[in-house]
Amino acid sequence: MARYDQDGTEFSSPKFPFKLFMVANPALKTGAGAKTIDAIHAELDAIPAGTTLYEVYACGKPAGDEMNPTSNLSACGAPFKLGDLVTSSQCTTSWYGDASLHIRHQRIEEDWEVDPSLTQPNGAYTINKVCDKQQDGVLPPKWSRRHVEQRCLNVTER
């Protein structure tokens, strides 16, 4: 995320938050109606320009064990408000969004490679919990041995 600036210049020691955290606007309620495509589009179409969708925070460190979803800032260690995500026009569907808008979420293992301090225990957060550490030599079914060996175990050996 912070490895390159907007002109494509690479930074050798990028500074970046532990994670970004978005707090939904509590006044904006969606999903209560029918679950049809038309109903969902109608809900989106009803959001006016200038509506705050989220407050966006940079979290400087883990908070808790990072394993359970939450909707409040208790899950954001050392929060720093970056700003608000606000609609600039009325919401609508678009082919661009369906066919051309791609968001790449960076894997935490890539962050660990750039900043190994993130692999160190911080309160309830530990790399072993994130990696779903082996118990009695048997890997949990949701992780392959290859994934754990390549991603989690190699990082802790540094």
Instruction: Specify the pTM.
Output: 0.74
Query: What letters, b where the CB count within 10 A reaches 16 and e where it falls short, cover 71-95?
Result: eeeebbbebeeeeeeeeeeebeeee
Tokens of 4: 């390159």
Residues in the chain: 158
Classify burial at 134, counting beta carbons within 10 Å of its beta carbon; exposed 0-12, middle 13-18, buried 19 or more.
Answer: middle
Are 80 and 123 found together in one domain? no
Domain-located, residue 154? yes
Q: Are residues 113 and 48 in the same domain?
A: no
Residue 20 lies in a domain: yes
Q: Look at residue 100 and tell me if it is in a domain.
A: no
User: Which tens digit of pLDDT belongs to each residue from 95-146?
Assistant: 888 888 888 778 777 887 788 888 777 777 777 777 765 434 444 445 444 5
